Amino acid sequence: MSIPFDYETMRLIWWTLMGVLLIGFALTDGFDLGSAALLPFVGRTDAERRMVINAIGPTWEGNQVWFILGGGAIFAAWPFVYAVSFSGFYLAMFLVLSAFILRPVGFKYRSKKPDPAWRSRWDWALFVGGFVPALVFGVAVGNVLQGVPFRLDSDMRSFYEGTLLGLFNPFALLGGLVSVAMLVLHGAGWLTLKLEDGPVRDRAQRYGQIAALIAFVLYALGGVWLAMGDIGYRVIGVAEAAGPSNPRMTETVHAAGAWLANYGAHPWMILAPLLGLAGPLVALIGIRGRKDVLVFAGSSMANLGIIASVGLSMFPFILPSSIDARSSLLVWNASSSHTTLFIMLLVTVILLPIVLAYTAWAYKVMFGRITTRDVNLNPDFY
């Protein structure tokens, strides 16, 4: 079989697709996480909480597949990244998985019994299911930006030399807070669209405003930290873009401020951080001006811009090693084979539009605001 794109192009495409997946996850399941994190605070009574739950009830399950697909696609396209990061962040992954396990069960089982204690326990489980992944994802990104303490031996076996507590360092916590604020804002944006006018929606918007401000300030602070702090890596010499996927053939070095170098070389990339900064402000204007669509558009812009800016800042790095110059994972040395990347591209090009089409249809079927009446009368509701 002859492959119409060269290896370098295929790697670039899959790097972009990995970004698309992560952004797709944040844009869809992100508001489920955010709404769940807001649940105990915006809903005071059982009926109010059920409004929040049913605002995401019919679609969260499909949204969560972006997360699962993210795992599968990274496995297929970037096996090194899949192997090194998930085994390295072992206990952090366990935290995320436990939280994600609580979520489906929480949605489904919470309203099966009228007992208030039962329901309140599940509400907090749902909160954990939303808050913990949002935090850990951001913390993980913060650590990736700083470099991860792993090395590969000549058999490509990976050894990780960090600890769980070491993950929670100041810069990483900043990443975690940006992530929580961004997703809480997105959750508030969704609830703005999905709930009828009333106290729950008002509270969601109030939390949304706070989250927007925090997201804006902390994200900007993160940018300043990257410029002034001792963070960043660069490749020594030239990494062969179509070379074999063997990280030990390239050499990288720690270099303060290097994460901002791409913006000098490719000025168009500045769009991403600008979007990340503008998004929370747009959402804020939307809440202030009672423009519902603007709120959700703003929170979506924030997700898109912030995630894209992390990817673009690091390019071509995916996972820099902080302890070994010949272990860092790059777009050029950590992918699957040329054939696998191409086959997976074909599969994606055929299937992803179909997925998007029926997902859109599902949203259309469930279109409309959740009302108190629905929550009281519809037997299909959670």
DSSP string, 58-121: TTHHHHHHHHHHHHHHHHHH-HHHHHHHHHHTHHHHHHHHHHHHHHHHHHHHHTTS--HHHHHH
- Do 21 and 108 meet the contact criterion of CB atoms below 8 Å apart? no
> Residue 184 CB, nearest distance to another protein (Å)?
22
112 scored as a contact of another protein (CB under 8 A): yes
Q: Which of residues 220-259 bind another protein (CB under 8 A)?
A: 244-246
CA distance 91 to 251: 29
Q: Which of residues 263-302 bind another protein (CB under 8 A)?
A: none
62 scored as a contact of another protein (CB under 8 A): yes
Q: Which of residues 138-167 bind another protein (CB under 8 A)?
A: 154-160
> Residue 114 CB, nearest distance to another protein (Å)?
5
45 scored as a contact of another protein (CB under 8 A): no
Cis ω on the peptide bond leading into residue 316 (within 30° of 0)? yes
Residue count of the chain, please give it. 382
> Residue 295 CB, nearest distance to another protein (Å)?
24
Cβ closer to another protein: 82 or 168? 82
Which tokens go with 203? 């509270």
Site string for another protein, 67-96 (x = CB under 8 A): xxx-xxx-xxx-xx-xxxxxx--xx-xx--
> Residue 12 CB, nearest distance to another protein (Å)?
18
199 scored as a contact of another protein (CB under 8 A): no
**CB within 8 A of 203, min separation 6: which ones?**
41, 42
Which tokens go with 100? 């994600």
Q: Which of residues 341-370 bind another protein (CB under 8 A)?
A: 343-344, 347-348, 351-352, 355, 358-359, 362, 365-366
Q: Which of residues 113-132 bind another protein (CB under 8 A)?
A: 114
Count the residues of the shown chain that bind another protein, applying the rule CB under 8 A: 78
Q: For residue 103, give the amino acid letter.
A: R
